Amino acid sequence: MDKERFGVLLVLLTALESSVAIIVNRFFVLKVDPVIFTAVRAILIGITFFIVSKYMPKPKKAAKTKDLAVLGLIGGGLAFLLFFTGLKLTTGGRAALIHKTLPLWAAIIGYYFLKEKITRNQKTAIGVAILGLLILQYDNLPTDIRWGDALVLGATLLWAIENGLAKKFMNLGENNWRVTYGRMFFGSLFLFGVLLLQGKLSTLLSLQLIQWVYILVSTILLTWYVLTWYWSLKFINLSKAAGFLLISPVISLVLGIVFLGESIYPMQVFGSVLILGALMVLASTKSERIYGELP
C-alpha cells in the first residue's frame, strides 16, 4: 500500500472513532466535570506517547519544546476546555454538526498557511460533502443560537489552527509521535492549571469508580483518534484528511440501523450518497503543495 492510500486508511479509522465518540462523551461529561475529564485523559495520553516516542526513530528535524507547548495549549488545552464545556450546554447532535465544519476551516488553513494544492475537483468534493452533511443532519440544524454552540465552534476553529501547526511541523521533519505527545501532554498541563485555579482538586481526588471507568473508556477512544489522525497527516494533506472526517455521520447512521434498529429516511439516504460520492472524488486527488510535492 502506497503512502497516499495508507494515509486515507488511517483517517477513515479516525472517522470511525469520531462517529461514536461525541455521543459517548456527551453522556460522560454529564457524569464527570468537563475540566477534570479532559485533563486526566490528556495527561494519560501525553505520557503514553512520550514513552512511545522514545522508542521510535528520531525525527529528521525535531520541533522545539516551546513549539510543541503552543500546539498543546491550543489543541490539547483551550480547544478541549471549550468543546467539553460547550457539549454540556448543548446537544450531542448539534455539537457533532458544528464539529464537522472542521474540513472547511482546515482547507482554508491548508491552502493559505501550508500552501497545499487544492484542485477544483477537491473544492467541489468538500462543498458537496458539506451539503450532504447538512441534508443528513437536517433535524439537528439549529433554529436558535446557544452559548454551548458558540463554545463548540470556537473549539473547532482552534483545532483547525492546531492541525495546521501540527502538519507544518511534520512537513519540516518532525514525526507524528512527538507531535501527539506535545499536543496532549502540554495541553494537560494547561487543563490541570485551570483545575487548580477552579479549586477542583478535591473533586478529582473524590471521583467514584464508575467515573474513572468513564474517563478510561474515553481515554481509549481519544488515543485511537490522535494515533490515527496525526499519523495520517504524515502522509496526506491536511485539507484532504479533514475532508474524510465528513464520513463520520454516515458511519453513525449505519451503526444505528444495524445495532439499534433505527429507521432511515430519504433525506438521510440522499445526504449519505452525496457525502460518499464526494469522498470518492476526494480520494482520487493527490496530496501536493503549491511549491512542490510533500516530502
Of residues 210 and 141, the one with the higher pLDDT is 210
> Over 80: is that where the pLDDT of 24 sits?
no
**Across 41-68, average pLDDT:** 93
pLDDT at 295: 52
**Across 6-26, average pLDDT:** 85
pLDDT at 293: 58
Of residues 284 and 70, the one with the higher pLDDT is 70
pLDDT at 22: 67
Of residues 65 and 91, the one with the higher pLDDT is 65
Domain ranges of the chain: 3-293
Contact assessment for residue 230 and residue 45, using Cβ atoms and an 8 Å cutoff? no
Tell me if the pTM is above 0.85.
yes
pLDDT digits (tens, 9 = 90+) for 87-118: 888 877 788 788 888 888 998 999 999 999 98
> Over 80: is that where the pLDDT of 243 sits?
yes
Distances (CA, A) of 122 to 111, 202, 281: 12, 50, 7
pLDDT at 1: 63
Distance between CA 76 and CA 72 in Å, rounded? 5
